[in-house]
Chains A and B, each alone.
Chain A
């Protein structure tokens, strides 16, 4: 079997798991199904020749699952169920209509893309063929990340730092005392 067949099998598995995650009655099983989607993505990255991404995704997915299980441990596992009201019917029909319209336009829009596996390198040609002379990096992803586009990476670090401050500010139980009291 070729790469495409393997990818189709993994993607169908991921879609089934996504539906299971949305419709599970227990929130813990939702979290487990989400973990299955994340690790399916790791397998896809490995098949698509992206080893760096596979490493990062496996770490990020594990951390997300740990945080989610910690949140559920501190609250409730069970979702409260209610009989379907009129607002739910509006939500369901809006979701299905939106999905149908988006799928119709997506099928027309991907006609301009290259078919799978026939991508032409345009700007990245410079990154690939000059990376070793210009940066000395034998891993081109790291060469782009830390040298050609280092400013983007600095922005990413700024976002991470801001989020860490935000999480600390939200989780802090007591407010800071004012100094003049």
Chain B
């Protein structure tokens, strides 16, 4: 239970950063923190204490042994790669915004838009 709550506090710190920061780079970093907390939450739910990692050499190893759930691990593997892709997309847009307006501050940008 403590682990789940700590993981959710990490999520809340990321959400707080998204709401209060005015800098685009800091917003991207906060988004990354939120992503990290969600990945960790899914893996925490799938953990079986005393289980072995889901890599074996033949099926006899599996007898009388617990295995960590491989399904959340697969889903998180997909999600990590997609998070990398979206992050690089956001950072590309951020650098274009900087080239156009000369600042990362969102209030300044909305003022300059006129």
Contacts and interface: CB of A to CB of B under 8 A. Distances in A.
Interface in B1-47: 1-10, 12-17, 19-23, 25-26, 28-30, 32-33, 36, 39-40, 43-47
Contacts of B98: 74-76
Contacts of B84: 60, 63-64
Interface in B70-114: 70-71, 73-74, 76-78, 80-89, 91-96, 98, 103-105, 107-108
B6 A80 contact: no
B89 to A, nearest CB: 5
Interface residue tally of chain B, by bracket? 35 or more
A50 B36 contact: no
A57 B74 contact: no
B92 A141 contact: no
Nearest to A106: B8
A156 B91 CA distance: 20
A139 to B, nearest CB: 5
Given A149-B74, A163-B86, A49 B4 contact: no
Given A11-B6, A99-B12, A124 B92 contact: no
Range of interface residues on A (Cβ < 8 Å): 35 or more
A160 B81 contact: yes
Contacts of B62: 128-129
Contact of B78 (A33, A98, A129, A153): A153
Looking at A94, A107, A124, A139, which has the most chain B CB atoms within 10 Å of its CB? A124
Contacts of B15: 95, 98-99, 102
26 contacts: A3-B49, A7-B44, A8-B3, A11-B7, A18-B33, A21-B26, A31-B25, A31-B29, A41-B39, A44-B40, A49-B51, A50-B68, A56-B80, A75-B104, A91-B19, A99-B12, A99-B15, A103-B8, A107-B5, A113-B4, A116-B47, A124-B69, A129-B62, A132-B56, A138-B56, A166-B89
